[in-house]
Structure 1
Amino acid sequence: MTDNTSSKEKSSSVFTLNDFNSKTNLTEKGQLHDDYNPFEHRDQVKGSSTGGALAHLLKGSLGTGILAMPMAFYNAGLVFGMVFTLIVGILCTHCVHILVRTSQQVCKDTRVTSLGFAETAEKVFELGPKPFRPWSNFAKQFVDCALMATYYAAACVYMVFIATSFHDVINFDLKLDWDIRIYIAFTVIPCLFIGQIRSLKLLVPFSTLANICIVVVFGITLYYMFNDTLDFDRPLVAKVTQIPLFFATVIFAMEGIGAVMPVENSMKKPQQFLGCPGVLNIAMITVVGLYAIIGFFGYVRYGPGVRGSITLNLEKGEALADAAKLLMAIAILFTYGLQFYIPNEILWRKINHKFNEKNHNITQILLRSGIVLISGGIAAAIPNLEPFISLVGAIFFSLLGIFVPSVVETVYLWPNMGRFNWKLVKNIILSILAILALIAGSAASIQEIIQDETNED
């Protein structure tokens, strides 16, 4: 999204709640849908292609989390891990489907070209049943704050991951003893430049290169995994106390809900996002398949000795293993732009009116640079951020990825919830699962933080 897009969002206020209420019967509402097609008003010049949208969506879901899938399988067991990785993948895909579909319908209702995640939640409550309307602003602010907290925190972890990868390879190969904070300082430099990119279209080459790097890393990782005898004598189901860590890891790793609406909104042909095969289905089938393969065989190969990132289990000092670690670091660096884009668009939309329009460009440059430097400072001050980010992910991705889409669809469709209210029942079950994942994931993450602190003492 660019400043251009923001101005379009502002224009959405032209269609007021009173305008909508004057068209409450289904016939008139259907006629309104026929008269206005938001897809026809998308930017055909600056918009992203279908291939570019697919690259962004793949990159949004293929981050550092996939490297932790063998550890997730260790916390689940072979059979339990495989089955529930597929189930969580299906649930995440369904929740994205209902969120995007609801957003597209609200765009038709309100005659708006596109709506972001938070704007969709706001409009659904604003135009929904009367008891829910006072909650519209809260819904928007909650989604915005949750997205910013999650993605800014994850951006800090990205810096730590990149720096750690270079630290381990360079220090070992060159016999150096440089502190991790030196590598974090070097990592900040390219992040300052990548963080200035404000268009998803311009980020497409970075996402494409990142995806290529990840494919190569997967190839190398698979080579090492299958280069030795595989031991299938692993627990089929792990201990009950370990299961919450599995769900916390899988949901946080797989859920790219924050990138979905910006990607869909930027497409020249958003009608190709959903459907069969559709951008979303292709991306999620690829993501779930890769997660399942890496998780299953990574655990089979390394067993209880598997580490938080599968690349850390690769041989030290070997050229191919070092290449995998460095390529993954580069892939995450290229992903930083997309990770950084999402919360900055939200923040800028909230504060841009406070600055003179003539100074918007320099203000954005200074703002983005300041946030990158602050992120680097936090990463350097606390190089072990993973447990804290897992906590943020367990809380917000369970809510953003499953709970909010379920609530949004329920409020929008109310009271027409299908035969025997099956959609209502389905969304209640999804909401309960999201709350359980939140509680269990948070408890497991807090326990991990306490253990880390105890070990350091």
Structure 2
Amino acid sequence: MDDDDDNMTEHNLLLNKKDFGPDTNLQTNEFFESIHVDMEPLRIAYLTISENNATIRKTNATGPGATLMHILKANIGIGLLTMPNAMKDAGYVFGPTILLLMGIIATHCMTVIVTCSHHLCAQLQLPALSYADVAELAIAYKFKKRYWGMIARIFVNAMLLLTQFGFCCTYLAFISKHIILLIENSGAMPINYRLIILAILPIFILASYIRTLKYLAPISSVANICILYSITIILVFSSLTIAEQGALGPGVEPFSTTPISYPLFFGNVIFAFEGIGSVLPLENKMANPKFFQPILWLGMLMIISSYAILGLLGYFAFGDNLADVVSLNFPKALTSPIYVLYSIAILYLIFGIFSSYLIQFYVPMEIIEPPFLRRIKSPIKKLILQIIIRTILVIFTALIPIAIDKINLLVDLIGAFSSSCLALIFPAAIEIITFWGAKRYRLPFYVWIVKDIIILGIGLVGGVIGSGVAIYKIATSF
């Protein structure tokens, strides 16, 4: 049997959702014993998951339509609203071209993580893995070094935490600046941006105490409708602005004449493809995972198209006059009924991004809190500790935008530093380690290795240079 057949057999094993029996547990135990892992907790955990796997999938499984919606929700955020700035940093010819290329690469890397998860699950007879699990087990299984695998898990979780908290920082900055825009529209005296953050901080602290997603789900559903309305208004407003001007905005160029802006474009684009952390959870919840990759490609094609359309329209409309996010280019005074629609769009954006903050904040809590809470027996003490942890972390997410008030530069830095690791560097490295010596994509070994090395190079060079330029721009903005 050739390598392709081996991979297909492993893939089908996962797709058939077979519960694994005693032989499976023995193989898993032998593997973990070979890398000196304490077996009893792992044996209980994996045995429990295996026995309940079929039941869980039947009761919570998602269909293709729901999965597509989740993919869209996971990837469309502030990155969409900063895309006109990305086009300004690259030009209207170079920008969409590289956006398409990076979108294809980022989507491919998402499928790489899924395929590596299938392979490791089949090899180790495990039901499902998270992103950090894949990184840890790929290295531990290949090199038989548990410590190396733990380091990989720490790196992945660290980048996930940086990215999630980075999202929260940009969301707070976004909401504060749009509250200022509403205040200006009402004719009231403008208030300092940093005072707005301090004023709304207690609301975010109290909202962070929501500890279960089921209470956030209804808010999220309404927020998605609000964001869709707001994006529609932005597209209409940008189109009307171009029509009224009778020409493109000032400084619109096919290619940027400022070389330093290209690394910022890279960070912005990678930040926009923010959903790689949700890929495995979504695939694991599908009733028929064999449909996941086609749905993923369809969803990402829709997302890339949305980025290109809004990015180009916003850039064409405002050119060099673009604000940090395109929605801040809305008119500053209510002189006609249509401006009421703009103010409603701003209100909806504030509500939608507030909801996104709560959901993004929930993710790092699932990583940070368990090590602290598992040592405490008293429910009251656990609750108090959770409140303390969440309060401190929400305050932290406020301090960053208080210090750095440029949303687009925050986006560029987060994208170049942490998102490039999660979206490009880690998937390529994990694939090399997982399938070393194997035939992949019906290609010889050296061909797909070169492919992964190129992706690694793009991620490393773009990440290092992009982070450096973003830090420089932030430092010189004070």
Q: What TM bracket, shorter-length normalisation?
A: 0.7 to 0.9
2:450 corresponds in structure 1 to 425
- Equivalent of residue 176 in structure 1, options 189, 200, 207: 189
Structure 1 residues 388 and 300, CA gap change in structure 2 (3 angstroms):
closer
Query: Does 2:155 match 1:142?
Result: yes
Note the 1:39-118 alignment, pairs <5 A. 40=54, 42=56, 44-45=58-59, 51-118=65-132
Query: How far 1:273 sits from its partner (Å)?
Result: 6.4
Letter matched to residue 280 of structure 2:
M
Note the 1:248-397 alignment, pairs <5 A. 248-265=267-284, 267=285, 269=287, 271=289, 274-276=292-294, 278=295, 280-317=296-333, 318-356=339-377, 358=379, 360-361=382-383, 363-380=385-402, 383-384=405-406, 387-388=409-410, 390-397=412-419
Unaligned runs of 5+ residues in structure 1 are 1-11, 23-35
TM normalised by structure 2 equals 0.80
1:29 corresponds in structure 2 to none
Q: C-alpha separation between the residues in 2 aligned to 1:429 and 1:214? A: 36
Give percent identity, aligned residues only: 29
Which entry has the higher C-alpha Rg, 1 or 2?
A: 2
**1:384-428 Cα shifts (integer Å, max 9, x gaps):** 565355323311111111010111111111221433212211111
Structure 1 residues 336 and 402, CA gap change in structure 2 (3 angstroms):
same
Unaligned runs of 5+ residues in structure 2 are 1-24, 36-49, 334-338
Q: C-alpha separation between the residues in 2 aligned to 1:365 and 1:193? A: 9
1:4 corresponds in structure 2 to none
Q: Name the SS for the 2:260 alignment partner.
A: helix
Letter matched to residue 452 of structure 1:
S
Q: C-alpha separation between the residues in 2 aligned to 1:196 and 1:97? A: 34
Contact 2:283 2:292 in 1 (8 A): no
Higher mean alpha-carbon deviation, 91-100 vs 229-238, is at 229-238
Query: How far 1:254 sits from its partner (Å)?
Result: 2.2
Letter matched to residue 345 of structure 2:
A
Contact 1:125 1:412 in 2 (8 A): yes
1:403 corresponds in structure 2 to 425
Structure 1 residues 430 and 350, CA gap change in structure 2 (3 angstroms):
farther
Q: C-alpha separation between the residues in 2 aligned to 1:75 and 1:383? A: 19
Q: C-alpha separation between the residues in 2 aligned to 1:158 and 1:42? A: 34
Q: C-alpha separation between the residues in 2 aligned to 1:275 and 1:258? A: 15
Query: Does 2:204 match 1:191?
Result: yes
**1:281-311 Cα shifts (integer Å, max 9, x gaps):** 2331221111000111211121222222111
Query: How far 1:206 sits from its partner (Å)?
Result: 3.3
**1:411-452 Cα shifts (integer Å, max 9, x gaps):** 111221433212211111110111111122112202211320
Q: C-alpha separation between the residues in 1 aligned to 2:306 and 2:54? A: 35
Q: Name the SS for the 1:75 alignment partner.
A: helix
1:246 corresponds in structure 2 to 265
Structure 1 residues 347 and 51, CA gap change in structure 2 (3 angstroms):
farther
Query: How far 1:125 sits from its partner (Å)?
Result: 0.6
Higher mean alpha-carbon deviation, 66-75 vs 42-51, is at 42-51
Query: How far 1:189 sits from its partner (Å)?
Result: 4.1
Q: Name the SS for the 2:324 alignment partner.
A: coil
Contact 2:75 2:272 in 1 (8 A): yes
Contact 1:316 1:322 in 2 (8 A): no
Structure 1 residues 15 and 201, CA gap change in structure 2 (3 angstroms):
farther
Structure 1 residues 165 and 19, CA gap change in structure 2 (3 angstroms):
closer
Letter matched to residue 112 of structure 1:
L
**1:74-119 Cα shifts (integer Å, max 9, x gaps):** 1111111111111111111111111122123323333333322112
2:139 corresponds in structure 1 to 125
Contact 2:174 2:407 in 1 (8 A): no
Q: C-alpha separation between the residues in 2 aligned to 1:196 and 1:270? A: 35
Contact 1:209 1:334 in 2 (8 A): no
Q: C-alpha separation between the residues in 1 aligned to 2:174 and 2:197? A: 9
Structure 1 residues 133 and 435, CA gap change in structure 2 (3 angstroms):
same
Letter matched to residue 316 of structure 1:
K
Q: C-alpha separation between the residues in 2 aligned to 1:92 and 1:209? A: 29
TM normalised by structure 1 equals 0.83
Contact 1:17 1:126 in 2 (8 A): no
Q: C-alpha separation between the residues in 2 aligned to 1:189 and 1:43? A: 39
Structure 1 residues 383 and 44, CA gap change in structure 2 (3 angstroms):
farther
